[in-house]
Amino acid sequence: MTDPLTVPPVLSGNYAFFFDLDGTLADIKLHPDQVIIPEPIRLALHQLAQKQQGALALISGRSMVELDALAAPYQFPLAGVHGAERRDIKGQTHIVALPTSLAAELSQWLSESMAALTGCEVENKGMAFALHYRQAPQHQQAIEQLAREAVSRFDGLALQPGKCVVEIKPIGINKGAAIKAFMQEAPFLSRQPVFVGDDLTDEAGFEAVNAAGGISVKVGQGKTHAQWRLASVADSHQWLLQLAQQHALTDRREGYESLDSSI
């Protein structure tokens, strides 16, 4: 789909919510360590999760450790590294890891190959590698070529382009697959999925949600498979706050004092 897409409605019902983080819940920064989720947005996520009996997950290229730190003090079901690691509502983790020898060899090869690309950075996520060039956009083509060479040189790997980053990950790992896995489990099971994301890495998630009859929302401009659009992270924040407020109003109308109650 292409521009323009309309702003999504404020939803009230039995939904399973999935949110990307960078560029969706938090503004993208020059360095990933500078990113924060504002406290009112963390609280709104918590309130919305309570209302949906826990059916809210963060789906990100970041590791689960990073996601927990950014969402603190709240904890949610998570899919980190695009789904290569996942934590369900019961706290059980599901990991897709690269063979130890392959990961070590690839890590060394990438570090040596990127040494001459000043301003670029390789992030070792254990089960995937992110090649960042946000601080050196002039090296975009060199990074993309290096990533393609890595996939051709080492077996079992796939590329995932993103905003100023190219990730190298195990084949078959993507946000769409992570959402499908959650949707087979309680409390997500039998609910209508909603996924909000901003990047190329989120398109597989949009497609999975669309196929399930759900609601897909793109944050920012650009071609997308999403059905709806929010213009910016600020608009994403406003929509999320409205969702949390809508559910709070529903509770008050029904005579409940807690967001833990059922619709």
pLDDT more than 70, % of the chain = 92
- Identify the domain boundary among 145, 170, 195: 170
Which pLDDT does position 31 carry in this prediction? Answer: 81
Catalytic residue IDs: 20
- Is residue 8 a part of any domain in this protein? no
* Nearest residue to 209 (alpha-carbon basis) of 232, 191, 229: 191
Q: What are phi and psi of 230, to 5 degrees?
A: -115, 135
Which pLDDT does position 251 carry in this prediction? Answer: 54
**What tokens appear for 4 in the block?**
């323009």
- Is residue 45 a part of any domain in this protein? yes
Predicted TM-score (pTM) of this structure = 0.84
* Nearest residue to 77 (alpha-carbon basis) of 90, 60, 62: 90
Alpha helices in 159-201 (DSSP H): 175-183
- pLDDT(207) > 80: yes
- Is residue 33 a part of any domain in this protein? yes
Helix (H, G, I), strand (E, B) or coil at 16: strand
228 and 192 in a single domain? The answer is yes
> Which residues span the domain enclosing 79?
15-96+173-253
92 and 177 in a single domain? The answer is yes
In the chain, count of helices (H) and strands (E)? 7, 12
- Identify the domain boundary among 127, 145, 170: 170
Which secondary-structure segment (H or E) carries 51?
helix 39-51
Quote the distance between the C-alpha of residue 97 and its chain's center: 19
146 and 44 in a single domain? The answer is no
162 and 177 in a single domain? The answer is no
79/58 Cα distance (integer angstroms): 6
Tell me the per-residue pLDDT of 19-41, one tens digit each, with 9 for 90 and over.
999 999 999 888 888 999 999 99
Here the CATH number for the domain that contains residue 86 is 3.40.50.1000
Tell me the per-residue pLDDT of 77-131, one tens digit each, with 9 for 90 and over.
999 999 999 999 999 999 998 889 999 999 999 999 999 999 999 999 888 999 9
If you average pLDDT over every residue of the chain, what do you get? 90
147 and 208 in a single domain? The answer is no
